């Protein structure tokens, strides 16, 4: 889908929304657009990324499956795809 098609599809979908729901959607969309600024890593996140990069450079790599299994163990309440 090109940009014009996306805009037209969005317009049609918005146009079909009930007036009572339009303001709710508008507020959510504005909040989303306003929050789309660049994410800044915390000190701990930067350290974790650097640790992972150093491990990778040293040949210590993991498969996707290994990462998912470890994450499931640490965060059992999360749903993984």
Domain map (residue ranges) of the chain: 3-34, 43-74
How many contiguous H segments (helices) and E segments (strands) does the chain have?
4, 0
Is the separation of the CB atoms in 49 and 41 below 8 Å?
A: yes
pLDDT at position 14 is 92
Identify the sign of the CA torsion 41, 43, 48, 50: positive
Mean pLDDT across 62-75: 91
Is the separation of the CB atoms in 67 and 75 below 8 Å?
A: no
Residue 61 to residue 13: CA distance in whole angstroms: 45
pLDDT at position 47 is 96
pLDDT at position 36 is 67
Q: What does the pLDDT look like over 1-56, one tens digit per residue?
A: 899 999 999 999 999 999 989 999 999 989 888 886 777 889 999 999 999 999 99
pTM of the model: 0.41
Whether pLDDT at 60 is above 70: yes
């Amino acid at each position: 889908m090109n940009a014009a098609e996306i805009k037209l599809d969005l317009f049609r979908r918005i146009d079909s929304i009930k007036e009572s729901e339009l303001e709710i959607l508008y507020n959510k969309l504005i909040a989303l657009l306003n929050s789309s600024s660049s994410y800044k890593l915390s000190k701990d996140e930067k350290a974790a990324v650097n640790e992972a990069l150093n491990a990778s450079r040293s040949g210590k790599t993991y498969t996707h499956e290994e990462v998912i299994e470890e994450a499931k163990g640490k965060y059992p309440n999360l749903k993984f795809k």
